[in-house]
Amino acid sequence: MPSSRTEIAGIEMQNPTILASGILGQTGESILRVFKEGGAGCAVTKSIGIEPRDGHGNPCALELDNSLINAMGLPNPGIDAFGDEIKIALKSGKPVIGSIFASTPEDFATLAGKMEDFGAHAVELNLSCPHAEKYGLEVGTDPGRVGDILAAVKSKVKIPVFSKISAMVPDIRGLAKTIEASGGDGIVAINTLKAMKIEPEIGKPVLRNVYGGLSGPAIKPVGVMCVFEISREVKIPVIGVGGITTGADAIEYFMAGASAIQIGSGVHYRGIDVFKKVNAEIIKFMEAHGYDDLSQLIGMARGV
């Protein structure tokens, strides 16, 4: 049988499916479920900040054709309350990545240091949330700021540091190069796309926060394009995310240059075992096309 095992910055994964940040990663128990019932090869936690945060008021999520818009606003218990959750998640024996957000290099470094102390296998810097005031996209569009954040985090921790970026940046290839030059160990692309919905009957935006982030199948072509562009520019591994619900979606990302993929909204569309289903579909595709190893697919479409 073909092997879909993969490795990113020294982190070994039995299969290439990863739980994306913000979906079922709020507690250690929910992460354990994603491994046991879901079959994920790795999981990323909800993004965690320095202080507890409530997030935005309701309505904070809605469903459209082929997509979702959410404006959760990074609700989280704060880093000091999260150590126990990581410890529970680690009982799985599988790799767990701690996602963090902040607005300064110092705070990013503090958060990364705590995630390392808790035992996380890597940290993912959320540089791309489109609906959280001074955090996320506001921080991650400026390569100079991203370089300063990476320098601070890399001098603090030994575990791999992944940078999660947005498609909504002026020069994604330039940003990717800055991340590589600043010692980043991998790039995660993409976060949700800034979006909104207006209700014609009332003439007002639907979301309390007005703006939210678009996710689900509708954003897959954007994510695939970003992974393709980034992976042609840098040598560090790229993790693809955005609109993956099937093995065929994942294969597109691998062929664009991703070494692993994350699934978020796919949990809504296909259930918690979407990871098992997607991995089985990847293996079936490999079998049908005579591939033995996932590495044969990675970057296949880049040589155009």
Ligand X SMILES: Cc1cc2nc3c(=O)[nH]c(=O)nc-3n(C[C@H](O)[C@H](O)[C@H](O)COP(=O)(O)O)c2cc1C
Binding site for ligand X (CB under 6 A): 20-23, 46-47, 68, 70, 72, 74, 99, 126, 129, 164, 191-192, 215-216, 219, 241-244, 263-266
Measured from the CB of residue 1, what is the shortest distance to ligand X in angstroms?
26
Counting DSSP H helices and E strands in the chain, the numbers are 10, 16
Give CA–CA dist 80/29, Å, rounded. Answer: 18
For residue 19, the surrounding DSSP H or E stretch is strand 17-19
CB of 239 to ligand X, least distance (A): 10
Cβ nearer to ligand X, comparing 4 with 192? 192
Report the first-to-last Cα separation within the chain, whole angstroms.
29
What long-range pairs does 296-304 form, CB within 8 A, spacing at least 24? 297/251, 297/254, 297/255, 298/254, 298/255, 298/257, 298/258, 298/259, 299/231, 299/255, 299/256, 299/257, 300/254, 300/255, 301/228, 301/255, 301/256, 301/257, 302/228, 302/231, 302/232, 302/256, 302/257
Compute the CA torsion angle 42, 55, 163, 250 (nearest 10 deg): 50
Closest C-alpha among 79, 114, 228, 211 to residue 167: 228
Q: Considering beta carbons, is residue 24 or 157 the nearer one to ligand X?
A: 24
Query: Considering beta carbons, is residue 192 or 279 the nearer one to ligand X?
Result: 192
- Minimum distance from residue 210 beta carbon to ligand X (Å): 17
Min separation Cβ 37 and ligand X, Å: 18
What gap in Å lies between CA 185 and CA 182, rounded to an integer?
Answer: 9
Considering the complex, state which of residue 55 and residue 83 has its C-beta at the smaller distance from ligand X: 55
Helix (H, G, I), strand (E, B) or coil at 10: coil
**Where does residue 201 rank: exposed (0-12), middle (13-18), buried (19+ CB within 10 A)?**
exposed
Give residue number: closest CB to ligand X.
Answer: 22
Peptide bond into 59 cis (omega under 30): yes
We find the least distance from the C-beta atom of residue 78 to ligand X, in angstroms, to be 14
Q: Active-site residue 226, yes or no?
A: no
Q: Indicate the residue among 19 and 236 with the shorter CB distance to ligand X.
A: 19
Whichever of 23 and 152 has its CB closer to ligand X, that residue is: 23
Cβ of residue 25: shortest distance to ligand X, in angstroms?
A: 8
Catalytic, out of 42, 60, 129, 226: 129
Whole-angstrom CA distances from 256 to 168, 217, 235 are 19, 17, 14
Q: Active-site positions? A: 129
